[in-house]
């Protein structure tokens, strides 16, 4: 990705200071050092979304990009039909992880809302991706194992100039129970623009408890 100064308002103008984060595992280091688009896949608790968010905010702080666009599947919205409020208010439930990450990265509880109000952060579902062009942004496609080929295809064909796209997910556990992801991954593997990084047990950094649970779960699955 060609990096260039854009001269737009960024987080430093909002009195937000991005905390310095260092990689904790070898695979995290590889992700930090890549200048390419990324496919980060693997186990829960390995920091895929956290790392992606940090990389996005870093490029915004350096004025290489204007914004972070977070995209999630529309499928989970089927589960929130009975929640009170508008569709926008219901969708806000799924923004909580990104608010938490921003709080940690900027050491401010209101960091996410401030950046969202200024258009530095945008959150959308795949239902609203058609017909738009994404420009000058880092695009994080989160929980992409839950997306259909059509959703993934719709997202990637929306990418315009000066963008970096990062896909995060655990392809072994798809809520859709389909094999569409395999065909989609084969397409990306034919492109030179992507680095693929697989996160395993050694990359689990959330807690020792989570690491032990994931190991036990994998052992039980292997016995089936």
- The model's confidence at residue 94, banded by pLDDT at 50, 70 and 90, is confident
The mean of the pLDDT values for the chain is 88
Model confidence pLDDT, tens digit, residues 3-25: 545 545 567 677 899 999 999 99
- What is the spatial distance between Cα 72 and Cα 85, in angstroms, rounded to a whole number? 20
Question: Which residues, 6+ apart, have CB-to-CB distance to 15 below 8 Å?
Answer: none
Predicted pLDDT at 224: 77
Predicted pLDDT at 178: 59
Polymer length in residues for the chain: 224
Q: What percent of the chain has pLDDT over 70?
A: 84
pLDDT of residue 101 exceeding 60 = yes
Model confidence pLDDT, tens digit, residues 116-163: 999 999 999 888 888 899 999 999 999 998 898 999 999 999 999 999
Predicted pLDDT at 114: 95
pLDDT of residue 60 exceeding 50 = yes
Q: What percent of the chain has pLDDT over 90?
A: 71
Question: Which residues, 6+ apart, have CB-to-CB distance to 37 below 8 Å?
Answer: 1, 164, 165, 166, 193, 194, 195
For the domain made up of 11-223, give the CATH fold: Rossmann fold (3.40.50)
Model confidence pLDDT, tens digit, residues 154-191: 999 999 999 999 999 998 766 555 567 888 999 999 99
Predicted pLDDT at 7: 45
């Amino acid at each position: 990705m060609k990096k260039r100064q854009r001269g737009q308002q960024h987080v430093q103008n909002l009195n937000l200071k991005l905390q310095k984060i260092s990689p904790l595992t070898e695979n995290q280091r590889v992700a930090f050092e890549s200048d390419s688009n990324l496919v980060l896949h693997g186990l829960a608790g390995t920091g895929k979304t956290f790392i992606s968010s940090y990389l996005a905010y870093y490029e915004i702080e350096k004025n290489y990009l204007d914004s972070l666009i977070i995209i999630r599947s529309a499928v989970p919205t089927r589960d929130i039909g009975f929640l009170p409020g508008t569709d926008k208010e219901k969708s806000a439930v799924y923004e909580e992880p990104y608010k938490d990450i921003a709080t940690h990265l900027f050491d401010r509880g209101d960091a996410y809302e401030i950046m969202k109000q200024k258009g530095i952060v945008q959150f959308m579902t795949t239902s609203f991706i058609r017909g738009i062009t994404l420009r000058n942004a880092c695009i994080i496609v989160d929980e992409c194992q839950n997306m259909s080929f059509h959703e993934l295809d719709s997202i990637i064909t929306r990418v315009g100039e000066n963008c970096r796209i990062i896909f995060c997910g655990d392809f072994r556990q798809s809520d859709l129970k389909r094999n569409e992801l395999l065909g989609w991954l084969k397409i990306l593997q034919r492109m030179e623009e992507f680095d693929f990084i697989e996160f395993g047990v050694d990359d689990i950094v959330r807690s020792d408890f989570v690491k032990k649970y994931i190991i036990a779960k994998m052992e039980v699955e292997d016995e089936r």
